[in-house]
Chains A and B, each alone.
With several copies, the nearest count.
Chain A
Amino acid sequence: MNMIQALNSALDTMLARDPDVLIFGQDVGYFGGVFRVTEGLQKKHGLRRCFDTPISEGGIIATAIGMGANGLRPVAEIQFADYILPAYDQLVSEAARLRYRSAGEFWAPITVRSPYGGGIFGGQTHSQSPEAIFAHITGLKTVIPSNPYDAKGLLIAAIEDDDPVIFLEPKRLYNGPFDGRHDQPLTTWAGDPTADVPEGHYTVPLGKAAVVREGDAVTVLAYGTMVHVAKAGIEAAGVDAELIDLRSIVPLDIDTIVESVRKTGRCVILHEASRFGGFGGELSALVQERCFYHLEAKIERVTGWDTPYPHAFEWDYFPGPARLAKALKACVES
């Protein structure tokens, strides 16, 4: 399965398994979603289980929270992560805080799916990576898969989780493992081991990172699209890097990160979002605090620039393998 099919299979599985699961969002019903992730679900499970909503992100999330408070497990789609901002108050002031402030009387077991990230010439408002503005919010979980197998297992885990989960889907990976080399022919998921996704129910636990590649020279921290860019960058640099796919940034698998950096003594952080105040800063701080005496070189960040996502300059903005390779060489040589 490609990532779209894997996500669709996760939703289909949960709709079949749990009558409390509902799926809604803009164009997700009859049409099956602008990226086809919900294709066929309304036809199969009915209009009451999978339906279209008005164009109102705040209303979508408010509705989901209210349903969650009444015992359901809503899965809401926000058509693009750039458009999640009108619902930011609902997510931060309500979903994230409901359990704590009510001393456990109410909670929001909601999952908010949204395609994020660039590489598709979507311009400023179809390309952003907003994970940092969620990672800072106490009470929200944020999950970002990098391949079909994880996408399905993590999405099922997110839906079954009793806390609100922001589930960011790397839209550039929907159809194939894009490694940032945009001048190369497109690759599909066909043949990729992670594309062989079981039917039915399984989970990938939230908060467990994956060591995608073992190595001794330097630790690379990445998630989503950047996991594949990291592979290409490591190859290009020809360094024996250990690549960690965080998979969820909240909860964060701090142990796997620390263990790796203590081993390698070096760390490079890769994300597509702009740098300043991005999640890379938190990762850098955590690594520095926990591995200070093991660090043989400064921790580097390879990220998008501190500009909006510029349409014509997509590949100048996108932190591709070449920029990572340069940082890796600098890091291991220092």
Chain B
Amino acid sequence: MRDLPYGLIRVLDHDGRATDTWNPRLSPDTLLRGLRAMLLTRAFDDRMFRSHRQGKTSFYMKSTGEEAIAVAQSMMLGSDDMCFPTYRAMGWLMARGYPLIDMVNQIFSNAEDPLKGRQLPILFSARAYGFYSLSGNVGSRFGHAVGWAMASAYKGDDKVAIAYIGDGTTAEGDFHEALTFASVYRAPAILCVTNNQWAISSFSGIAGAEATTFAAKAIAYGLPGLRVDGNDFLAVWAATEWAAERARNNLGTTLIELFTYRVAGHSTSDDPTRYRPAEEPAHWPLGDPVERLKQHLILLGEWDETRHAALIAEVEADVREAVKAGEAIGTLGKSKPNLAEMFEGVFKEPDWRVIEQRRELGI
């Protein structure tokens, strides 16, 4: 237990063989659903990134290389559990069948945008899918997960909260405050650090990673800390299952460091070759999570290259169709929600200020 924060929990070896210790023993069907969600996430990212280049939206962020994390955790946890995501957790929604068209509409801020044009692209909210409201500021929702989990314990139900924070963002006071409350009140929460080794242009050492691991920060709060290969679908699943079990049995919070790698740039706004070796991403530290799961399925005799190619073609088709549908409604600036939505939702009931200002704007 005392060494877990310094090791690395891994199930899939280099050739895709599953080692025993942490193997969650999932059915081939489950593995294939995971593979599909990961491929869908990647295909969607690639397509929307292009849409941004084409000026169809203002902003986009990819999670290339990190797909195994949100996908495995989304599948492993229950529909009543709540995820407090970062902008790199879109796999959560993909794994739960969130309608692609709704995502596209939000990203285009068009007339059908489920967030009514109020939010930057990909800063989703999807309560019915256990996906809490995102915002541009990082870190500040980590503690909400702890409060949400405390409420769940207070009500006596067995729902758990799972939250993500990036390696760089662990430096915010929010991280410490969330963990302190989680420890003091034994909140049924799973707090995850997605250590993709980069924070925009800063390597994880700027967040303290040269001094110790992120999992080791659990020790400061007397909490168990697991360090997990985040590109290993099976390891992520197993560690999450272990933490969820603890939480549901009122044993409290687990901190999980998910060691991964940010393959793409930070967002559409930066060029990573300005701050890291151009060839670094090509080397896929830890290996491509999709390839690793694919190899595993092939070894199990459940999968092959032809079916894999077909699956890729299938998810790409789904994405293409959704984007077409979204473009038909309209891309950024070409279509937008009813202007009145700008003034709605500041409070539950509008007060005189927005009512007057609506009039001032002539709507």
Contacts and interface: CB of A to CB of B under 8 A. Distances in A.
* A touches B (Cβ under 8 A): yes
Given A26-B202, A54-B181, A94-B141, A66 B147 contact: yes
A62 B201 contact: no
A303 B131 CA distance: 34
B171 A59 contact: yes
B171 A56 contact: yes
Given A63-B143, A162-B348, A102 B133 contact: yes
B140 A94 contact: yes
A270 to B, nearest CB: 15
Q: Which range contains the number of A residues in contact with the other chain? A: 35 or more
Interface in B137-181: 137-152, 154-155, 161, 168-169, 171-174, 177-178, 180-181
A215 interface: no
Interface in A81-140: 82-83, 85-86, 89-90, 93-94, 97-107, 121-126, 138-139
A138 B346 contact: yes
Interface string A301-334: 0000111101111001100000000000000000
A312 B117 contact: yes
A70 to B, nearest CB: 4
A87 to B, nearest CB: 10
B96 interface: no
Contacts of A162: 348
B352 A93 contact: no
Contact of A62 (B121, B147, B207, B336): B147
A55 B137 contact: no
A22 B147 CA distance: 12
B116 interface: yes
A52 interface: yes
B275 interface: yes
Most buried by A among B117, B133, B178, B200: B133
Nearest to B142: A62
A86 B146 CA distance: 18
Contacts of A105: 125-127, 133
A194 to B, nearest CB: 26
Given A69-B144, A100-B346, A124 B337 contact: no
Given A22-B154, A59-B180, A307 B143 contact: no
B345 interface: yes
Interface of A is mostly: loop
Interface string A42-79: 00000010001111111100111111111110100000
Contacts of B348: 99, 107, 162-163
B275 A58 contact: no
A202 interface: no
B181 A103 contact: no
Nearest to A304: B357
18 contacts: A54-B168, A54-B171, A58-B173, A59-B173, A59-B177, A62-B140, A62-B146, A62-B147, A62-B177, A67-B150, A67-B151, A69-B132, A86-B140, A101-B118, A101-B133, A123-B58, A276-B353, A313-B117
Given A31-B200, A55-B139, A62-B147, 8 more contacts: A58-B143, A83-B137, A106-B132, A107-B348, A122-B136, A305-B342, A307-B343, A313-B339
